[in-house]
Structure 1
Amino acid sequence: MAIAEALLAASPQSACTAMIDFSGRVSKNPKLDIRAPGKLSLSHLLGWQGYRMLALLLSDVLALKMAWQIAAHFNQFYSPLPPELNWGSWLRLPSLFWLFAAATLLFFAYGGLYSSATQWKNYLRAGKLVSMVYLLSLVMGYFYDPKLDPPRSLFFTAWFGSVVLVIGFRLLTTLILRQFEQSQSPIPVFLIAPGDRLATLSHLLEQQLNFKGQSASHYQVVGAALATTAHTPTTVQTILASKAKEVLVENLPDTALASALYWQLRRHGITLRLLPSSVDMLHRRGLPEIFAGLPTLRVEPRFLSSLEYGLKRSIDVFGALVGVILLSPLFVAVAIASRLSSPGPIFFRQERMGLHGKVFHMWKFRTMVTEAEALQAQLEACNEIKGGVMFKIRHDPRITRFGRFLRSTSIDELPQLFNVLLGQMSLVGPRPLPLRDVERFDTWHHIRHQVLPGITGLWQVSGRSDIADFGDAVRLDLYYIDNWSLNLDLDILVETCRIVLFGKGAY
């Protein structure tokens, strides 16, 4: 209660001065994309969550081992065990059982069955994932050795036994964990809400019971901030300093939900709880859960969630390297044609705004006359983009004949593969814009600089140059940031290839 009252007494002016500079100039580590994994926190591993994860791991390994031993025991009455499938010797490295168990545990970890406060109790999902691993093992075993045919009595017994024992052991482990959970220290919670709601929320956490009948001591308010300053670096640092495990949020501005707040908390393994009025952008991520008598949506980082971003960067480097090698003959052909078609350099290099406001030089094949930038001032009145943030003319007189062909086929963008290799861009992300455009940005437009810019993005596959309102384009970028996943990146890459082949929306 005292925390909320102290915050309410703070002057509005001091809160306003802490507003974030979305260009990233105040970023503590400007080299990091907000989706990049943060440092591993030992407090999470050594605390209650770590003990719970260890207990579930042991439970799953024991259940799988017992299922395989039972299957091996009953199989001896039906058919002999093939030598290739003998997992009885624990000294064999790697043994078939441990390979299978490792695959199962990875599926469980990625699916949130160890870290999530709700998913770890999703017993049916655990059974489905076990079944998926068994089916995948059949497919992989066939391609590894088509003659390898495990006895059906062995396979189905192990499969059925694994599903039953994993679910059964998890039910038993949950029963034990809930008993110990009651004696744990209160969960540190940080509050973010409008000024007139902070005192109310703090009172609810201190006085009311949740649906399990847990007392108010189960939660402890360790800090608070106004919703209008939720996405500032100061607030994020305050949350980290408070050692909060969860952040309860009500009535964030729309831009804040699409900004760095969610990703900053995710990088540090902190759970975000949204009250129903705060679900404009993140509602698809949240899981319904009652929290201190309040209906909330729990948005929690998955265990191994950083694996997706690591794979994204690997795909960027590998894809760009392969692209440069395979397209090198095309690069040479374009260079020769560009020289013959018009005077001037082969490449066009322009300063663009990148990650956290860092300026870099983006490369393209030259498609305009050499004095194009000087002529742009005379053509500003012809700009077709609403608001004038970007500069686009459908029939730009500065574009050369060969340049128009390069633009319609998007070949002019290919040199940006070198920007990807240099770590300045990604294959997929918000397009980096010229400094002339960035100077005309509204404050909320700078949120797109929180992630690595890309050669293509959701904006490009949702209309490309046909989008006439820059605000609509930025909203697509914010949707991409807020709902990012590796699957979304792959989907955008496929759609980009389709659009490029038909030349839709490029000029």
Structure 2
Amino acid sequence: MTHQSTTTHTTNYNNWRNSALDLRAAAFLKLSKGAWWLRILTLVIVDCFALFFAWKLAQYQVSPVDTSTYSQNNRISELMVLQIASLALQGTYQSGQQRCDYWGIIKTLTFAQGLILLVSVLYQPIIEAEKSTLTVSWLLSTTFVITGRLAIELALKYLRQRKIIGCNSVFVICEPEYYEQTTKFIKNEKRYIIRGTDTARALDRYNREATLEKLNRLGITEVFIAWDAIKNRMFLCWLFQAAGITVNIIPMQLKPIHRQVYIQKVGGMPCLTVSCPTIIGKDFWLKRMFDFCFTALFLLFASPIYLAIAIAIKLDSPGPVFYKQTRIGLSGRQFKVWKFRTMRPDADKLQKELEALNETKDGIIFKIKDDPRITRIGKFLRRYSLDELPQLFNVLLGEMSLVGPRPLPTRDVDKFLDHHFLRQEVLPGVTGLWQVSGRSNILDFEQVINLDMSYIENWSLQLDFEILLKTVQVVLKKEGAY
């Protein structure tokens, strides 16, 4: 690919994603789409009535006296809260067929009842009743709750068949030859209305924004995507999730997926569902809050270290303390990355003369093991990655995160192929999976892309903390740093 064509790619990318956010983030915290709240409210109300009558009837059967006192009702309420919480933790209020997992409901209520009995025996009676009361209440609770769930399921089926209540608006993305077969399965479920279909091209880089706008305009709450359309685009689940849309993947020639998914049948067709959280973007904004707070505290306490490094640089060689270079960040935006200067002041000019010595296989990233431009103090700073410390200023400004794909210079991005731009979908980081998996020892840029994509697709707060801890170990061992 020529320099002119790659520059065009970069320009188009900048125009396309000029105002976009990190693909893991909603505009800010917002609720998921759909009538999930009505489902949860209905199930909780029905379960509460079922459990309340079960406890009252159990008390009356064992001891047919006045069971309507305030203290007894208050204790029953406490027991019901424990049972409802157990059902919620088991996932019986989630979408799909979890609400009809009757065996799971029996196990959950049995566990809750056992917990009540254990606390009553070891500490103090939660409810003034004989053990037979707990036995009868367990039998009645499981019977009434399952009966209530079955009644809800039959009522929903009846109302949906007669179009009395609305169904979920869905959109199908697959190749034309699979339209008829896929839509037939979905229509068999009787709880979906297909609002439109499109091919895999709807997920291409330049079409995604228009596709999301179309889905929002149609009020889509779920999408069904053929595996062939998303097999190399699993990171797109973040985009749909940020829009509050649940993703159902129609499995065809599946390979391992490292995401939290559950299997459900839609009209008899197996689907892998990547569910949408109730509050969208909360994990990403927690990450941003942690980035800001941790960085601010670190800069406050580490200021003497910064001062000592600055003095050492000034004594070692002439030139500025800091080195600022234009890097390409989120959505192709340019920004100035801060580093402690580790090279001669004319290093950028000398780089053109050293291009022939570049050790990377594809030439995208410029790396030389014994770079003659590096100063004496610069070698020490690079060995322990201390030259990267000023990038915490970029984190405070919101231009970078503590963890993410490393931002690359304009010179490198100008040589990108089309699929390389995927790493620009998320906020760049001071450290990342690339840095803890070999750093400068990785000389093939495709390996870097694979690591970045693995990070994006499997991102979680836990993964960020693991990378931060691994970074400390890698720096102390001086692995792959030069």
Q: Normalising by structure 2, what TM-score?
A: 0.79
Task: Give the Å deviation of 1:301.
Answer: 1.3
2:433 matches 1:445: no
Aligned to 2:337: 362
Aligned to 2:25: 36
Alignment of 1:351-500 (within 5 A): 351-500=326-475
Q: Is the 8 A contact 2:86 2:108 kept in 1?
A: no
Task: Give the Å deviation of 1:445.
Answer: 1.0
SS at match of 1:174: helix
Question: 9, 13, 17: which is aligned to 1:27?
Answer: 17
SS at match of 1:222: strand
C-alpha RMSD of matched pairs (Å): 4.1
Cα distance in 2 for partners of 1:274, 1:305 equals 20
Cα distance in 1 for partners of 2:137, 2:442 equals 53
Cα distance in 1 for partners of 2:98, 2:336 equals 45
- Report how many aligned residue pairs link the two structures: 444
Decide whether aligned partners of structure 1 residues 441 and 335 sit closer, same or farther in structure 2, where only a CA change above 3 A counts.
same
Q: Is the 8 A contact 1:131 1:163 kept in 2?
A: no
Q: Is the 8 A contact 2:258 2:458 kept in 1?
A: no
Task: Give the Å deviation of 1:129.
Answer: 12
> Once the two structures are superposed, what CA deviation does each residue of 1:302-360 show, in whole Å capped at 9, x if it has no partner?
22353322221111111111111121111011001111111111111111111111111
Cα distance in 1 for partners of 2:12, 2:403 equals 21
The percent identity for this pair of structures is 36
> Once the two structures are superposed, what CA deviation does each residue of 1:366-390 show, in whole Å capped at 9, x if it has no partner?
1111111111111111111111111
2:178 matches 1:188: no
SS at match of 1:381: helix
2:24 matches 1:53: no
SS at match of 2:270: strand
Aligned to 1:277: 252
Decide whether aligned partners of structure 1 residues 61 and 329 sit closer, same or farther in structure 2, where only a CA change above 3 A counts.
farther
> Once the two structures are superposed, what CA deviation does each residue of 1:115-168 show, in whole Å capped at 9, x if it has no partner?
432455567599779989x99xxxxxxxxxxxxxx925449x9x9999999877
Of the structure 1 ranges 279-288 and 332-341, higher mean CA displacement relative to structure 2 is found in: 279-288
Question: 198, 202, 206: which is aligned to 1:225?
Answer: 198
Alignment of 1:49-448 (within 5 A): 49-58=36-45, 108=88, 114-120=93-99, 124=104, 151-154=123-126, 171-182=146-157, 183-184=159-160, 185-206=166-187, 209=188, 214=189, 217-231=190-204, 232-253=208-229, 256-259=232-235, 261-277=236-252, 279-280=254-255, 282=257, 284-304=259-279, 306-448=281-423
Q: Is the 8 A contact 2:10 2:332 kept in 1?
A: no
> Once the two structures are superposed, what CA deviation does each residue of 1:449-476 show, in whole Å capped at 9, x if it has no partner?
1111111111111111111111111111
Cα distance in 1 for partners of 2:13, 2:46 equals 47
Q: Is the 8 A contact 2:441 2:480 kept in 1?
A: yes
Cα distance in 1 for partners of 2:381, 2:172 equals 53
Of the structure 1 ranges 167-176 and 395-404, higher mean CA displacement relative to structure 2 is found in: 167-176
SS at match of 2:392: helix
Cα distance in 1 for partners of 2:285, 2:395 equals 15
**Which residue type is aligned with residue 96 of structure 2?**
A
Cα distance in 2 for partners of 1:57, 1:103 equals 11
SS at match of 1:458: coil
Task: Give the Å deviation of 1:229.
Answer: 2.8
Of the structure 1 ranges 249-258 and 287-296, higher mean CA displacement relative to structure 2 is found in: 249-258
SS at match of 1:277: coil
Task: Give the Å deviation of 1:186.
Answer: 3.5
SS at match of 1:369: coil
Q: Is the 8 A contact 2:10 2:414 kept in 1?
A: no
Cα distance in 2 for partners of 1:499, 1:104 equals 46
Decide whether aligned partners of structure 1 residues 434 and 127 sit closer, same or farther in structure 2, where only a CA change above 3 A counts.
farther
SS at match of 1:25: helix
Task: Give the Å deviation of 1:50.
Answer: 2.2
Task: Give the Å deviation of 1:169.
Answer: 6.7
> Once the two structures are superposed, what CA deviation does each residue of 1:89-133 show, in whole Å capped at 9, x if it has no partner?
99xxxxxx99x9699869947x8654432455567599779989x
Cα distance in 2 for partners of 1:491, 1:226 equals 38
For the pair shown, which has the larger CA radius of gyration, 1 or 2? 2
Of the structure 1 ranges 191-200 and 436-445, higher mean CA displacement relative to structure 2 is found in: 191-200
> Once the two structures are superposed, what CA deviation does each residue of 1:14-46 show, in whole Å capped at 9, x if it has no partner?
xxxxx999835323742x2111135746862xx
**Which residue type is aligned with residue 123 of structure 2?**
P
Cα distance in 2 for partners of 1:103, 1:309 equals 32
Cα distance in 2 for partners of 1:26, 1:449 equals 12
Task: Give the Å deviation of 1:426.
Answer: 0.8
Task: Give the Å deviation of 1:69.
Answer: 11
Q: Is the 8 A contact 1:56 1:170 kept in 2?
A: no
Q: Normalising by structure 1, what TM-score?
A: 0.75
Cα distance in 1 for partners of 2:140, 2:465 equals 36
Cα distance in 2 for partners of 1:346, 1:244 equals 53
Of the structure 1 ranges 434-443 and 178-187, higher mean CA displacement relative to structure 2 is found in: 178-187
Cα distance in 2 for partners of 1:316, 1:160 equals 52
Cα distance in 2 for partners of 1:497, 1:160 equals 55
SS at match of 1:367: coil
Q: Is the 8 A contact 2:10 2:413 kept in 1?
A: no
Aligned to 1:84: none
Cα distance in 2 for partners of 1:28, 1:363 equals 23
Cα distance in 2 for partners of 1:363, 1:50 equals 46
**Which residue type is aligned with residue 227 of structure 1?**
A
Q: Is the 8 A contact 1:57 1:105 kept in 2?
A: no
Q: Is the 8 A contact 2:185 2:266 kept in 1?
A: no
